[in-house]
Structure 1
Amino acid sequence: MMMMMLFLFAFGLFTEVGSKQAPVPKQNTYRVLAGDSWWGIAKKFKLTPSELALLNGRKESDALYQNELLRISGTGLTAEEVKAQKPKQKPFFPLPSIEKTERPYSDITHLPHKGIEYSHDKSGWVRSSLPGKVINIDYMDGYENYVILEHENGWYSVYANLERVQVTEGQVLSARERIGTLTKNRGLYFQVNQLKNPVNPTLFLQQGT
C-alpha cells in the first residue's frame, strides 16, 4: 500500500488539496476586471473561450465575477501536446453510457482536481478506455476501490469509486473490457496521465487515430 501511495502521488494521481499551497505565479493567472468576458480574456492570451474555460474547470456559459482569479496556463498537457502524444487508437468512454460530469477536471493551483467524476444515473459498471495492463488494485479513503491501467506510449488511466473489482493485477485487458461495478451512491472517478503529466480526460477522450 505504501509503495502504491508513492506511485500515485509521483504520477499526480488523486492529488489532494493541501493546507498550504505555493503562491500561484502571476504569469499563469489573470484577475477578472469589470466588463471582462470569456471571449475578451481568451483573446488577450491567444486562447479560445472554450480552452480558457476548460483550464479553469468551468463552462463558457458560467458567469465571471470581478476580482476572481483565472488560470491562463496549466500544469497539465495542453491540447496540442496531447495530440502530439495521442494514443495509438481512439479511447472509449469509460462507462457503457455517456454520463454527466459531476465534478470536472481542474488545473487551478489552489483547487486541483486531476480527474473527472461522473454522475451515477445510467451506468452501473466501468470499462477500460484503451487496451492495457492492470498494474495496481487498491483502496483509498474518498475513492473506494480503484484500478490503474498502463497503456502504450506512456499513458495511464485510473478508475475509482468501485464497489467490486472484476480484474486482477497483471491481467491484460482489451478496450471496453469490464473492470468492475460502481458504488451505489457515487459515479466513476476517471483520471488520465501521460507519464507524470496529468491530462484532462476530456481532451484524452477526444483523441483519435
Structure 2
Amino acid sequence: MKLPVIISVFLLFCLSNFFVYAGSADYIRYKVRRGDALEKIARKFGVSVQQLKRWNRLRRDDRIFVGQRLKIFIRERQVFSPPPKFRKPARYFRVVRNFDKYGDIRHYGWLGITDKSGYVFAAANGKVVKIGYRPSRGTYILVDHSNGWLTMYSHLKKVLVKKGEYIRKSQKIAISENRKLFFLISRNGVPLDPARFL
C-alpha cells in the first residue's frame, strides 16, 4: 500500500466517521461514500474486485449504495509486522481514555494529560508528512515511521516542526493545548492500541 493511500485511509479513520472498526483486527468495515465503486475501493485497499464480492457476498451486478459497509480484510503480516521502538509522546503522560474499538463511541487512540510544560515528543524516528487542523482534534501532526507505521499527535497549541522535516525519537515536536494530548498509532491505515507498543 503506497504512502499517500495509507495516509488517506489513516486520516479517514482518525478524523471522520467513514470507517467503522470491525470486531476482529484482521479486517475493517468501510462505509461506502458518494462516488465510490467497487473498482475504486479495491484499488484504494490493494485488493481485487472479486475479493470484495466474495467477502461481502455481493451479486454480479457490482451494485453498492451510499452508507453500505463493506468488509475488507487486511493481511495479518501487514498489520502485525515488527513496529518501531516507540516511546510515550510526553515526559509525563497520564492516560484518561484508552483505546476502545468496541464501545458505542469508538476511540482509536490514547487521550492523556501531559506535564505542565505540555511538550510533545516524537514517539520514534520519522518524517512529518502532514500538519493540519480538524474541529474534532484541533491542530495535529502526522509522522511517517516507514513500512506503513504512522503516529498522530493532536490537540496541539504550538507546532515546533515543519511538513517534510525528518525528526528523531524524543525530539520536541509540539506543545499540547491545555496539557491535553491525543496520541494514535496505525499500521497500513489501521489504528492499533498504543498499549501494545509502549
Q: Distance in 2 between matches of 1:23 and 1:152?
A: 25
Is the Cα contact below 8 Å between 2:78 and 2:188 reproduced in 1? no
Corresponding position of 2:142: 148
Identify the match of residue 178 of structure 1 among 151, 172, 175: 172
Identify the match of residue 81 of structure 2 among 80, 85, 98: 85
User: What whole-Å deviation, never above 9, does each CA across 1:158-186 have from its counterpart, x for those lacking one?
Assistant: 000100001000000010111110112x5
Corresponding position of 1:112: 106
Corresponding position of 1:165: 159
Pair 1:108–1:115, CA change in 2 (3 A): same
Pair 1:176–1:158, CA change in 2 (3 A): same
1:14 is displaced (CA, Å) by 2.9
Specify every segment of 5 or more residues in structure 1 that has no aligned partner in the other structure, as ranges: 26-74
What secondary structure sits across from 2:13 in the alignment?
coil
Q: Distance in 2 between matches of 1:24 and 1:126?
A: 32
Identify the match of residue 188 of structure 2 among 167, 190, 195: 195
Corresponding position of 1:12: 13
What secondary structure sits across from 2:8 in the alignment?
helix
Query: Letter of the aligned partner of 1:111 in structure 2?
Result: I
Specify every segment of 5 or more residues in structure 2 that has no aligned partner in the other structure, as ranges: 25-72
Q: If each structure's strand is expressed as a fraction of its own residues, which one has the higher value?
A: 2
Pair 1:77–1:187, CA change in 2 (3 A): farther
What do you get for the CA RMSD once the two structures are aligned?
3.5
Q: Distance in 2 between matches of 1:22 and 1:180?
A: 29
Q: Are 1:135 and 2:129 an aligned pair?
A: yes
TM-score, normalised with respect to structure 1: 0.59
Q: Which runs of 4+ in 1 moved over 4 A?
A: 8-11, 15-18, 21-25, 75-78
Corresponding position of 2:91: 96
What secondary structure sits across from 2:196 in the alignment?
helix
What secondary structure sits across from 2:120 in the alignment?
strand
1:11 is displaced (CA, Å) by 5.3
Corresponding position of 1:44: none
User: What whole-Å deviation, never above 9, does each CA across 1:119-158 have from its counterpart, x for those lacking one?
Assistant: 2444511010010000000111121110000012210000
Report sequence identity in percent.
Answer: 25
TM-score, normalised with respect to structure 2: 0.62
Q: Distance in 2 between matches of 1:107 and 1:14?
A: 15
Is the Cα contact below 8 Å between 1:77 and 1:197 reproduced in 2? no
Is the Cα contact below 8 Å between 1:134 and 1:169 reproduced in 2? yes
